[in-house]
Chains A and B, each alone.
Chain A
Amino acid sequence: GQSLEQPPEVTAVEGAIVQINCTYQTSGFYGLSWYQQHDGGAPTFLSYNALDGLEETGRFSSFLSRSDSYGYLLLQELQMKDSASYFCAVKGGGSQGNLIFGKGTKLSVKP
C-alpha cells in the first residue's frame, strides 16, 4: 500500500525556522509534493521534488531523499500568515495521476 507520515502539529514563533518532515511508503515513486491549506480554504501547491536534494522557493524550501523515503518542508522567517496545515503528497502508482496525501501538519505561528 501507500502511506505518508507527518507530525500532526508544530508550533513556532515569528521569525523562526521550522521543518516539517514527511516519510512515505509507495509502490512506484513519481515525486513528493507539498501543499498549504489555510483553515476553511483550498490546498495550494508549494513545491515538488522528483530528485534528491533541496529545492528553494523564496522563504520555503523542500528536500527529498529517495533512498530514505523521506522529505521535509523548511519554512524560514516565519510569519503569522504561515499558520496553516501543510500536506505532503505522492502520486498514485501505475497509470493513476491522483495524489495520495498525508494527514497534514498544523503549523501555529505565535507572535
Chain B
Amino acid sequence: DGGITQSPKYLFRKEGQNVTLSCEQNLNHDAMYWYRQDPGQGLRLIYYSQIVNDFQKGDIAEGYSVSREKKESFPLTVTSAQKNPTAFYLCASSRLAGVKSFSDTQYFGPGTRLTVL
C-alpha cells in the first residue's frame, strides 16, 4: 500500500534534548512538508521541500531543522532551541512541486505527538 508513515507515534523528550521525527513516503511525490498543530489550532508550516537536497523555511522554522537526502524521506529535528516544542507534528507530501501544484492534494501521515517533560 502506498502512503506516508511517521514514527514514532508518541515521543517524550527532556528539556535540552534534540529529537528527530521520521517521515517516509512511497508515493513517489516530489514535495514534502512538515506542519505543527497545537490544540484547537490549524496547521502551521515548519519546512517544506520540493526536490531532493533542497528545502525552504516555512512560517515557524526557528528551532527546527530538516534534511532531504532521499526523495522518499524528510526527517525533522526538533532542537533544544525550540522554546515550546510540545505539539502534534504532521508530515505531508504532494505529487507536484512549486507553481505546478495548483490543485495537488496533500497526503498526510498519521502524525507524531511530541511531549516535552
Contact = CB atoms under 8 A, between A and B. Distances in A.
Given A42-B108, A43-B43, A101-B43, A31 B102 contact: yes
Interface size class on chain A is: 20 to 34
A103 B109 CA distance: 19
Interface residues of B, number: 31
A98 B105 contact: no
Interface in A34-75: 41-45, 48, 50
B106 A45 contact: yes
Interface centre among A30, A45, A99, A101 (most CB of B within 10 A): A99
B50 A50 contact: no
Interface string A69-99: 0000000000000000001000110111111
Contacts of B45: 92, 98-100
Contacts, number: 68
B108 A31 contact: no
A67 to B, nearest CB: 19
Interface of A: 4, 8, 30-31, 33, 41-45, 48, 50, 87, 91-92, 94-104
Contacts of A50: 102-103
23 contacts: A30-B102, A31-B102, A33-B105, A41-B110, A41-B111, A43-B90, A44-B108, A45-B105, A45-B107, A48-B105, A92-B45, A95-B98, A96-B48, A97-B48, A97-B94, A97-B96, A97-B99, A98-B33, A99-B33, A99-B43, A99-B45, A101-B42, A103-B40
